Amino acid sequence: MAALPLCGRADELAVMALSWENVVADGSGPQVVVLTGEGGSGKSRLVAEAAAALRPAPAVVLAGRARAHSPAPYDWIASALSGRDARSAAVPGDALAWLTQRPDAPARRFVPDALLRVASDLVRSLVGAGPGVLVIEDLHDLDPASLALVDELAAQPLPALILVTSRSSDEAAFPELAGRVLARLSGTPRSTRLHLAPLTTEDVGAALAAAFGGPVPPGTPAAAHHRTGGNAFWIAELISAARSAGPGAVATGPLPKHIASLVTDRLAPERPETVDVATAAALLGDRLGTELLTHVCGPGAEHEIRRLVHLGLLAIGPDGEPKFRYPLLREAVAGTALGATRAAVSAKASEHELAATTDEAAATHVELARCLLELGRPEEARRHTERAAALLRAGRDEPDPDLTARERQVLGCMASGMSNQQVARSLGISIRTVTVHVSRVLRKTGSASRTEAAVWAVRTGTL
């Protein structure tokens, strides 16, 4: 599939074009633009588009990136020079071999400062009179030597535009160092730091219209935006997967397996406890909250919530409660749950909610009893006190030993919401007999209604 046209980001492109104009007009020092944003927000795409649109075209472009796994010294320079013959640069051949990570590089170690100077000389020699562009992709993943080099280059009188992309330093391979370098790069009068916000609903609408070749059904851009949180990567992936199904599938179609795997892969190296809490959180849907999650998963849930925030799956909302950062992430995690897990989470959650209901119901009876006493109606007050006591007794796991096996069966049917007629059909007995059993169950459990009896049954584990 052809890439989507770039949507939005006009202001960011203008800032980079302006910085380039400054480099071209005054070649005395570098201009720096630092683009930060979450994974998939569109940093790489934007830098690539901006660099390609620069006029006059740069005399030289050195673009390098980090190696996300196993960072090695000077990954950036090795990556920027790969496929380029740099032997003419005025630096010692053995150091060049080392910096470009050639397999035939000498085994001897270099003094770090000396190597940093050589690396910096090498870049300056390649940029020459410029004007040039240095692209430093994924600074957060860079090795310390590359970070030191970037820091050094930004402080040199280099006729170049330095375009840096980075996720938050919290995600960095070397968080403190990356944080310091990002702060220094962004903190000079010649630098601009841009944080890439999610795409807007209008941007998503433009992407959908471009991909599907015309106007899209109203509401689709907003729904697709909500599902993805405006993250460019997920939008591009969903659009690509929905090519034949149409734009509606981007908003509401089932999540394609390969897209779901991209999310769940993040959980693959995590501890089972973390995965369990993520799964339960996903299954709880809108009911997700720390208290309920702790009831379902145990006291370690809060620790795991923090881990899931770090992994970018959850975010803490303004009410202090965790939420999936956007529905697509929740859908992907929920999709991994087996039937037994779904049933267990649902049962635990209902138990918690019923417990809360029971306590509230008991409190209501106590309150009613107090009012009735004040009104001089002691008989009615006593009935409410007894009901409160029955509810609380049930809450303290005190099953009534008098319940017969048949009454327990009837209670089970009542708790699953069956009418007397359905109970009769299910147990193969007459409605009249069911009515007798139901009234005995209500009396023995001290319940005023079928719902209270169901609460009692769940609280005491009778079912």
By CB under 6 A, name the binding residues for ligand ATP.
3-4, 6-9, 37, 39-45, 138, 167, 207, 232-233, 236
Query: Which residue in the block uniquely carries the two structure tokens 């087996």?
Result: 338
185: left (phi over 0), alpha (psi -120 to 50) or beta: alpha
3-state secondary structure of 92: coil
Q: What are phi and psi of 401, to 5 degrees?
A: -70, -15
Distance of CA 121 to the CA centre of its chain: 42
For residues 6 and 172, which CB has a smaller minimum distance to ligand ATP in the complex?
6
User: Dihedral of the CA atoms 61, 67, 71, 76 (nearest 10)?
Assistant: 0
Q: Residue 1, class by beta-carbon neighbours within 10 Å (0-12 exposed, 13-18 middle, 19+ buried)?
A: exposed
How far is residue 376's CA from residue 223's CA, in Å, rounded to a whole number? Answer: 58
For residues 138 and 276, which CB has a smaller minimum distance to ligand ATP in the complex?
138
How far is residue 161's CA from residue 463's CA, in Å, rounded to a whole number? Answer: 70
For residues 19 and 41, which CB has a smaller minimum distance to ligand ATP in the complex?
41
Q: How far is the CB of 165 from ligand ATP (least distance, A)?
A: 6
Region binding Mg ion by CB under 5 A among candidate stretches 42-50, 198-206, 349-357, 381-389: 42-50
Number of residues that bind Mg ion (CB under 5 A): 1
Q: How far is the CB of 425 from ligand ATP (least distance, A)?
A: 56
Instruction: Give just the sign of the alpha carbon dihedral 115, 119, 125, 126.
Output: positive
Q: How far is the CB of 141 from ligand ATP (least distance, A)?
A: 9
Instruction: Looking at 229-338, list the stretches that DSSP marks H as alpha helix, in order from N- to C-terminal side.
Output: 232-241, 248-252, 257-264, 272-284, 290-297, 301-310, 327-334
Q: Which residue is nearest to Mg ion (CB)?
A: 44
For residues 7 and 411, which CB has a smaller minimum distance to ligand ATP in the complex?
7
For residues 236 and 282, which CB has a smaller minimum distance to ligand ATP in the complex?
236
Interacting partner of 71 out of Mg ion, ligand ATP, none (Cβ under 5 to 8 A depending on kind): none
For residues 49 and 270, which CB has a smaller minimum distance to Mg ion in the complex?
49
Query: Which residue in the block uniquely carries the two structure tokens 């870049």?
Result: 123
For residues 167 and 393, which CB has a smaller minimum distance to Mg ion in the complex?
167
Q: How far is the CB of 63 from ligand ATP (least distance, A)?
A: 13
Q: How far is the CB of 134 from ligand ATP (least distance, A)?
A: 17
Distance of CA 226 to the CA centre of its chain: 13
Q: State which H helix or E strand residue 391 sits in.
A: helix 378-395
Tell me, what DSSP letter sits at residue 147? Answer: H
Asked if 343 and 313 touch (Cβ cutoff 8 Å), the reply is no
Interacting partner of 263 out of ligand ATP, Mg ion, none (Cβ under 5 to 8 A depending on kind): none
Q: How far is the CB of 246 from Mg ion (least distance, A)?
A: 29
Q: How far is the CB of 336 from ligand ATP (least distance, A)?
A: 22
How far is residue 385's CA from residue 126's CA, in Å, rounded to a whole number? Answer: 88
Interacting partner of 7 out of ligand ATP, Mg ion, none (Cβ under 5 to 8 A depending on kind): ligand ATP
3-state secondary structure of 376: coil
Interacting partner of 6 out of ligand ATP, Mg ion, none (Cβ under 5 to 8 A depending on kind): ligand ATP
Q: How far is the CB of 287 from ligand ATP (least distance, A)?
A: 31
For residues 164 and 453, which CB has a smaller minimum distance to ligand ATP in the complex?
164
Task: For residue 132, give every residue at least 6 positions away whose Cβ sits within 8 Å of its Cβ, in sequence order, or none.
Answer: 58, 59, 60, 61, 62, 126, 158, 159, 160, 161
How far is residue 15's CA from residue 154's CA, in Å, rounded to a whole number? Answer: 18
Region binding Mg ion by CB under 5 A among candidate stretches 38-46, 235-243, 283-291, 425-433: 38-46
Interacting partner of 73 out of ligand ATP, Mg ion, none (Cβ under 5 to 8 A depending on kind): none
Q: Which of 15, 24, 44, 395 binds Mg ion (CB under 5 A)?
A: 44
For residues 124 and 266, which CB has a smaller minimum distance to ligand ATP in the complex?
266
How far is residue 129's CA from residue 242's CA, in Å, rounded to a whole number? Answer: 48
Q: How far is the CB of 209 from ligand ATP (least distance, A)?
A: 12
Which residues are near Mg ion by CB under 5 A? 44
